[in-house]
Each structure stands twice: as structure tokens, then as C-alpha cells.
Amino acid sequence: MTKRETYEQRTEALLLPIVEERHFELVDVEFVKEAGSWFLRAYIDKPGGITIDDCEAVSRVLSDLLDEENYIEEAYILEVSSPGLGRPLKKDKDFARSIGESVDVRLFRAVERQKEFTGILKAWDKDTVTLEFEDEATLVIERPNIALIRLAFDF
């Protein structure tokens, strides 16, 4: 397991009781380097959406626990936020919750001469994702070929 994965898993373990106590959902935790700085990001959600006050409350408790545990060697910036409108689907629970929803999919390698698709998520398993389009045609995509899959949104 990489250091990044260890940090993410340990943070998730600290965070789960905090969000469950508040009846929130822990969507994801990531430890990433951007523009020369490390970020520890926690994405939380709840029915009706997360507020800034919700994020602040979780951030304060998590920050104190991270200071106590002190397992992250690098200097980092802690961010607690909503996953946003176009939230990526990463975990099984994300896919299960999104069955029947419109999703945008970006691929590493073109399928049928396209790298981007928008369709209804009809099915998924550990190896594939199945989309259905307006004309009722379906497309089965190998998961390792998916660069990004997220909920679609229109304005």
C-alpha cells in the first residue's frame, strides 16, 4: 500500500464516526499534490446537500483528530467539502445510487471513434459499466478504459 493510500484509509477511519454522528455520507477522501502543495480532501454529502456550516463543523473535529494522530509526514492543506454537482462515481455505493441517472463518461481509448459519452447508467459490475442512450441502444464499457465517470448535469 502506498503512503497516499495509507493516509486516505486512516483519514477515512477517523472521519467515518464524525460524519455518521451527523447523519452525513462520506463520499471520498483523497490525498493529492497540486501546484506544489499537498491537499487532504474529504467529500461529504447529505440529502438536500451539504452547507458551509456542515463542512466547517466536520473540518474542526477532523483537524483536531489529525493533529492528535499526526501520521501525515508532509505539510498539507485540509479541505472538507461537498462533492459538487458533477460528482465522480468511484465506489460501488456511488454506482448503485446512480443507476437510472444520466452520466458523463470520458475514456482513455476511443470506443466507436468516441472518447466521451453521455447516457443513462443501466448497470455496472467490477469489470464493466453499461450505458443506455436516447435511441435505447446500449454500450458496455470496460472499467479500466474509463478515465472519468460522473453524474451529468444541465443548466
Q: Model confidence over 67-83: pLDDT tens digits? A: 999 999 999 999 999 98
Quick one: cell of 57? 463543523
Classify 107 in phi/psi space as left (phi over 0), alpha (psi -120 to 50) or beta.
beta
pLDDT of residue 86: 74
- Report d(CA 155, CA 151) in Å as an integer: 13
pLDDT of residue 66: 97
Quick one: cell of 33? 499534490
Residue 44 has pLDDT above 70, yes or no: yes
34, 37, 36, 15: which is closest to 24 by C-alpha?
15
- The average pLDDT across 52-79 equals 96
Rounded to two decimals, the pTM is 0.73
Quick one: cell of 134? 436516447
